[in-house]
Structure 1
Amino acid sequence: MALSLDGQAVHFSHEAVTAGASQLLLPWIESLLSDAKSSLKDLDAIAVCIGPGAFTGVRLGVAAVQGLAVSQNIPVVPVCSLDAIAAQLLDSAALQSSQPQRLMIAIDARMDEVYWASYDIQDRRLPNRIGDIHLTKPEDLNLEGVQFLAGSALNAYRQRLPQFTGLIDPDISISALGILKCAQQSLQDGVHCEVRQLEPLYVRDKVAFTTAERVEGKR
């Protein structure tokens, strides 16, 4: 989680959990606000990652933000996971030194597939996503013109990705800091939504294999 208040230093908390996030999330939020000597009513907006990503985690985050925003009538800022990772990448030493014009974020989508999107990098702005977010087999990434490739798909499918000779960052993952960067830019641009409009971003319609499909995949 990350909290920005009136230009002060960002309050940031990150803790990886394997289970029980639904019981921990609200106490974490309360603790972060308490440490900053603030409360929900002081916020101009609440940002949340809407996916694509793990179904349960995305739904939990969206549901929690819906409840918090409704309680204080606060607007919300939906942030795409790949956009947030691209925003975080701007702070990496490798990207700053190489100054690529185009980068791609590709993350493991499970089920033998990858979520990916390409971005143009502009001065003093966050990376600009080119077109839609794609869901394909690892072999079908379109790396034409890409100079920097990052995301969990590199570790999950390294041997199956198209040949790539540019710079890579296989270890970067989504963080609240990236979500915050995107949300701040959106608010500056006047982009937010009412809580009733908030919903997860579903790039994939199918979320599970049938038994027959699982058996076929083992052959």
Structure 2
Amino acid sequence: MKRILAIDTSSAWCSVALSLGEVEPAFRHQPVAAGASQLLLPWIEEMLQASKLAMADLDAIAIGIGPGAFTGVRLGVAAAQGLALAANLPVIPIASLDAIAMELLSNQSFHKIQPSQFVVAVDARMDEIYWAKYQYASSDNEPQRLGDIHLSSPEAIDLEGARYLAGSAINAYGNRLFTHHQLPVNCLDANIGVSALGILGCAMPALVSGKQIPVQELEPLYVRNKVALTTEERDQIFKKGTQQ
């Protein structure tokens, strides 16, 4: 029985899950704005106490490494580093878009379509999106990312060959995503986001495959290096929005 603590604070949610073998994992997921630092460790302590476990009883800590909100990503990674060092546990780094892709497997509309390829795209702010394309063979296999996670304008997303699109970029940028390729409304999921359940879903097969790493090797995934726009850049984005 594999016991994994999964953490994600890369979005506007604080999210924690604890796998407990054959039963449903313990799970807490709440929008927090800037308050994840106050909830994360108490939630973990409460989950462990309720399960009568100590950190040292776990097999690994899975952590969402981004891309996402810089402060949130750093908070989650720092928490995982501290907990793993104290309990001498390995860590399993999971990219946020991979976690969203994994969560799609429990989505009913996704299963109806059974897309062989799909895209996850999330709002990266600054008039850009993070996106990645995935291959999906069957419900017996987890989705496989095709290449890297990209940072681009909404118009530059590659939907060729994809039969499904999921993520917050749909609500944020709408038709700008469909400049080159259209998808039916029933092939869109704008509401799904990253959570500790998706992190946990990716972490379980990763642990079985031996993909855990020493905590000293854990690093955030920063697809973007620039974190703020100049006044001129903000004005240009505003003008673009008013002209549409």
Q: Do these two structures clear the TM 0.5 threshold for a shared fold by scoring above it?
A: yes
Paired with 1:174 and 1:161, the residues of 2 have a C-alpha distance of 20
Residue 149 of structure 1 pairs with residue 165 of structure 2:
yes
The equivalent residue for 1:185 is 205
The equivalent residue for 1:169 is 189
Map of 1:1-219 to 2, 5 A cutoff? 1-123=16-138, 124-162=140-178, 163-166=181-184, 167-219=187-239
**Offset of residue 57 of structure 1:** 0.7
Cα shift readout 1:190-218 (whole Å, capped 9, x = no counterpart): 10111111010010111111234334444
Paired with 2:237 and 2:115, the residues of 1 have a C-alpha distance of 38
Q: Which amino acid aligns with 2:169?
A: A
Aligned residues: 219
Secondary structure at the residue paired with 1:132?
coil
Paired with 2:226 and 2:168, the residues of 1 have a C-alpha distance of 21
Query: Given the two structures, how large is their TM-score scaled by the length of structure 2?
Result: 0.86
Secondary structure at the residue paired with 1:185?
helix
Q: Which amino acid aligns with 2:230?
A: T
**Offset of residue 32 of structure 1:** 1.1
Query: Given the two structures, how large is their TM-score scaled by the length of structure 1?
Result: 0.96
Paired with 2:197 and 2:142, the residues of 1 have a C-alpha distance of 13
Paired with 1:21 and 1:165, the residues of 2 have a C-alpha distance of 35
Paired with 1:6 and 1:99, the residues of 2 have a C-alpha distance of 28
Paired with 1:66 and 1:23, the residues of 2 have a C-alpha distance of 17
Cα shift readout 1:96-150 (whole Å, capped 9, x = no counterpart): 1111101100000000000000000023111000001110000011110000000
CA contact (8 A) 1:2 1:176 kept: yes
Runs of 4+ in 1 over 6 A off after TM superposition: none
CA contact (8 A) 1:13 1:32 kept: no
Report sequence identity in percent: 55
Secondary structure at the residue paired with 2:31?
coil
Paired with 1:133 and 1:218, the residues of 2 have a C-alpha distance of 26
Cα shift readout 1:8-37 (whole Å, capped 9, x = no counterpart): 321111122123221221111101111112
Secondary structure at the residue paired with 2:29?
coil
